[in-house]
Amino acid sequence: MTQAPDPDGAEAAAHPAARPAACTPSSSLLPSPAQPRPLGGAAWAGRRIGLLGGSFNPAHEGHRHISLMALKRLGLDQVWWLVTPQNPLKSAADTAALELRVATAQARARHPRIVVTALETQLGTRYTAETLAELRRRFPRTRFVWLMGADNLRQIPHWRGWTRIFGMVPVAVFPRHPYAIPALVGKAARRFARDRVDAGRSRELPLREPPAWVFLDGPLHPASATEIRRRGDSRAWAGKTGVPVAGVAASGGKADRAPHHGT
């Protein structure tokens, strides 16, 4: 998911989500095909969906680790990986082509309840707050939870409309070394301190009215997109995707050198 500083620093009013369904349907009843479509909101009514946004440049086992943790700890039906077309804060030359990033993410996901999508290209949105607003409009009866690492909790005050994000959907934060402690005493955590949910009640999070957020402590995963690109590890792109190694250079130029926060 792409971010940019809020140019005027304004904090837009929160938009309360629709009331939750009484219970969560069995995941065996999930619609087929599983790929969400912007006009298919009715098929997802009552579902609990985690949203993991980012560049996925490239996707790696850390993304899968967080997703599996979210499925279990939050009682989600699915996790959608929202592969952003282009982060406006990063050079296009430093980001691999969307097609390659999606293909790599699909190869890394390896789970029937992790769905890789480039929905932003269909929604026509660029920033997280815009994307969440459109998803809530098009999927009004779906219970979305925004998933992010502690590094993003620390720097989310620099995102455009960041308070709207907390006002639109519950948020689940996952540990990421060495950001957890600074993030938990940072601006966002202080601003929404009263809305923090105890980790022992994390399965209630998708049903809570925002703002509501939880920090889910647990085992860390060492994978980092930044380190993968620093090493220039082409296997991280082509290893299981069926995409030729040459496609990395052709798709993004210096895709192994960009600074990144792991998504």
Rounded Cα–Cα distance for residues 16 and 210 (Å): 6
Contact 225, 78 (CB under 8 A): no
Which tens digits make up the pLDDT trace of 93-127?
A: 778 899 999 999 999 999 999 999 999 999 999 89
Per-residue pLDDT at 24 exceeds 90: no
The DSSP line for 162-199 is HHHHHHHS-EEEE--TTTHHHHHTSHHHHHTGGGBPPG
β-partners of residue 117 are 82
Q: What confidence score (pLDDT) does residue 178 get?
A: 82
> Which comes out higher in pLDDT, residue 48 or 10?
48
Tens digits of per-residue pLDDT, 172-227? 999 987 888 999 999 999 999 999 999 999 999 999 999 999 999 876 655 555 55
User: Coil, strand or helix: which one is 79?
Assistant: strand
